[in-house]
Amino acid sequence: MSFDKFYSIDALIKRGREVAGGIDVVSFDLFDTLLVRRIHDPDLVKLPVARFIAARTVEAGHPWPWQKVQKLRDDVEKKHRQETAKTFVDHEACYPRFILETLVTIFGAEKGGALVPEVTDYELLMENSMLVPRREMVDWLRQLSAQGKRIFIMSDIYLPATHLRVLVDHAGFLHQVEDVISSADTFLAKASGKGYELVRDRFALAGKKWLHVGDNPVSDGLRPAEAGITALVLHDATEKHRKAVVKRYVNYSGGRPFWRGRALQQLMQPLEGENGERPELYVEGFNFLAPLLGGFVQHIAEQCRARGIGKVFFLSREGWTFKRFWEQSMPYLFPDGRLPEIEYLYVSRMALAGASCAHQGLTRANADIAFLPPGNRDFRDLCRIFNFDVTALAPHLHRHDLAIDTCLSHLHEGFDPWDKVRFYELLEDQAFQEEIKRQVADAGEALQRYLADVGFFSHRNVALVDIGWLGTIQRFLYEAVQHRSDCPLCHGFLFAATRGIPYPTVTGNTIEGVIYDRHRFDMAGSTILYARDLFEEACRAPHPTLNGYRLTAEGYALQFRGTDDETGQAEQQQDRYFSPLQQGVFDAAARYGAASALLGYSLPDYKSWLNCLLAGKLAFPRRREVARIRHRHHLDDFYGRHVPKKVHVKGSRHLWDSPLWRLAIDPFLRLRFFLRHLRERIKE
């Protein structure tokens, strides 16, 4: 008996349409025919399941290494296949049976039996994450169904038909199929030809003209041909090459850390119908930002589990993006559910600055923070940031020979160092500090009511997650509540920590930079400093910034910045421009979680590849990359409108501020900026 073999899907479908006119029944193989796998080896899907079971053994008080769990599963499955071979031609196993025996061996009859549905759900979740419908083949299946053909799906696999229906339903074409048949249910497989006899008898197909489509020359070609079934077999060289590439990356990653990140990226890539035309910004979000954010939130989750942190608060508007990424990726990475609660906290530097002074007053360190931005010059900028009434404070300034427009920043013309000395003396003035506390008392109380409402004081350990860079938001937040007896221990996680001003680290208030931290020498990682505004704008929530907290009779109210002025409109325009970029990030979140769970790696494993990604994209970008992902507008109310001296303006210019024409014609521009960056980092 013979069958037709094709080396492309188009050729197979063309032939299939030619013969389909006289066909009553069409059956399809499932894996590598209707569905393709992102991974080269389907057995790799078992590894995250083994890690999940191992996590449950820790909770049960008798921990097993995941490798031991996997070996037991393999041994039990092998034993079941050997038992089947005593009665049946096909050496098949049935997942519900051998996974039950595996779990009962580990946990005992009661606990093991109860875990079967949970383990099964996670295994199917991971299977679905690694399966992609072949668009052309599924479209043809739908056409055949619409023509009235009886459609069946047949598969030789240990998953029973009930489980396969879950996979087919997730792929979106279960309703076009009359039934799904698995060798795990009857131990009659296509490989021996018994599966075809089963289907013919069960569905009364005798005398019907039958077409079978698959990818295995024996079980999908020779065996149906022997049974008098027309067989079309696909030998897709392109798909085999793709899997060979994935296999090479995964194998390399065992001993070469760089390839762990490359394997991650390969498993995240869209395939088949997923790989449609997308905006360039979407691609940047998917390929560049998403792996960085994925490593960031995965590290935070691991630290929360290790430190016993009860709740994670995602701060500022960037936290909105981090929280969404967390929600979509964590179910794959930590299926045991041993994760902290999460909350998006409405905060900003401007909103917290005044509230931080309600009990401690205005500290010298916080005043210095206000004058870090080159646009801030005098006491009026300080009052704008901390929401002070400058008129009520003017008499206190006069007592120290200061005026509201006295220059207090060395970056501006007219600065006198003695004025800064007098300003520091003003901060020691008790009457001045009492007036400040009076002005911001309501804001401080409103903030505490808000924090109590979201459960901030209900946990002993909390994580505070922010984009960076100095940890100012966490500094202000902690200072506003540190006087309370129920103030939690605050574990800060910043995307990048530049530490331009030393952070007041104490036992109950710490920060660490995850992707980059100035306290850890990381030259490649430090290239994130090239374009900090890019990360802020790319991760920003689509709502206005928070201006403050207002005390009300009912409790508190959040006050947001208006969007009807020129600055607000510019910010909304920036949001619309970066919308495709954010969508790319969100679409990649689940892909990151599934790929990282399958590989079993985390941020330290991906770090060398992420550093390469950062250096290539930020320090040595193509001109069109800068044109594409450089922000159009950047709002920061913390910055004033004063213009510093030219010498300071020149020193603050960065590669990403350069005009596009210069990026195009100056071949050494990137190298000069990089050498300057190296000198600055070494001096640190």
- 153, two tokens: 């799906």
pLDDT category of residue 573 using cuts at 50, 70 and 90: confident
Burial class (CB in 10 A: 0-12, 13-18, 19+), 670: middle
What was the pLDDT predicted at 635? 64
Asked if 449 contacts 518 with a C-beta cutoff of 8 angstroms, the reply is: no
Which helix (H) or strand (E) segment is 494 a member of? strand 489-497
Residue 600 and residue 39: Cα distance in Å, rounded?
A: 14
pLDDT category of residue 1 using cuts at 50, 70 and 90: low
Residue 225 and residue 671: Cα distance in Å, rounded?
A: 65
**Single-letter code of the amino acid located at 449:** R
What was the pLDDT predicted at 634? 61
pLDDT digits (tens, 9 = 90+) for 452-487: 999 999 999 999 999 989 999 999 999 999 999 999
Residue 199 and residue 223: Cα distance in Å, rounded?
A: 13
- 341, two tokens: 């609660």
Is the bond into 469 cis (omega within 30 degrees of 0)?
yes
**Single-letter code of the amino acid located at 96:** P
At residue 651, does pLDDT exceed 60?
no
Which residue has 């020193």 as its token pair?
Answer: 651
Write the CA distances from 190 to 154, 176, 199, 635, integer angstroms. Answer: 8, 22, 10, 63
What's the order of all strands across the beta sheet hosting 341-344?
Answer: 341-344, 311-314, 461-466, 489-497, 509-517
Average the pLDDT over 389-413 and give the result: 93
- Strands (E) across 411-477 are located at 461-466
At residue 293, does pLDDT exceed 80?
yes
At residue 652, does pLDDT exceed 70?
no
Please list the residues that pair with 490 across neighbouring strands. 462, 509
What was the pLDDT predicted at 647? 63
Residue 407 and residue 285: Cα distance in Å, rounded?
A: 42
Phi, psi of 73 (to 5 degrees): -60, -45
- 228, two tokens: 């008098």
pLDDT digits (tens, 9 = 90+) for 87-97: 999 999 999 99
Average the pLDDT over 243-251 and give the result: 96
What is the pLDDT of the chain when averaged over all its residues? Answer: 93
What was the pLDDT predicted at 630? 82
What was the pLDDT predicted at 133? 97
What was the pLDDT predicted at 633? 62
Which helix (H) or strand (E) segment is 246 a member of? helix 237-253
pLDDT digits (tens, 9 = 90+) for 199-230: 999 999 987 899 999 999 999 999 999 999 99
pLDDT digits (tens, 9 = 90+) for 153-163: 999 999 999 99
What was the pLDDT predicted at 279? 93
Residue 141 and residue 219: Cα distance in Å, rounded?
A: 20
Share of residues in the chain with pLDDT > 70 (%) = 98
The closest of 427, 215, 453 to 343, measured between CA atoms, is: 453
For residue 277, count other CB atoms closer than 10 A to its CB.
5
pLDDT category of residue 543 using cuts at 50, 70 and 90: confident
At residue 650, does pLDDT exceed 60?
no
Average the pLDDT over 130-139 and give the result: 96
The alpha helices in 505-602, defined as continuous H runs, are 532-539, 566-577, 579-599
pLDDT digits (tens, 9 = 90+) for 176-189: 999 999 999 999 99
Query: pTM of the prediction?
Result: 0.93
What was the pLDDT predicted at 585? 97
CA atoms within 13 A on the CB side of 12: 26
pLDDT digits (tens, 9 = 90+) for 315-372: 988 999 999 999 999 999 999 999 999 999 999 999 999 999 999 999 999 999 999 8
The alpha helices in 93-186, defined as continuous H runs, are 95-107, 109-129, 135-146, 161-171, 183-186
Residue 257 and residue 609: Cα distance in Å, rounded?
A: 8
Burial class (CB in 10 A: 0-12, 13-18, 19+), 455: middle
Residue 181 and residue 194: Cα distance in Å, rounded?
A: 12
Asked if 628 contacts 284 with a C-beta cutoff of 8 angstroms, the reply is: yes
Write the CA distances from 79 to 87, 112, 120, integer angstroms. Answer: 14, 19, 20
**Rg for the chain, CA atoms, rounded:** 31
- 78, two tokens: 């092998």
- 592, two tokens: 């990151």
Average the pLDDT over 135-144 and give the result: 96
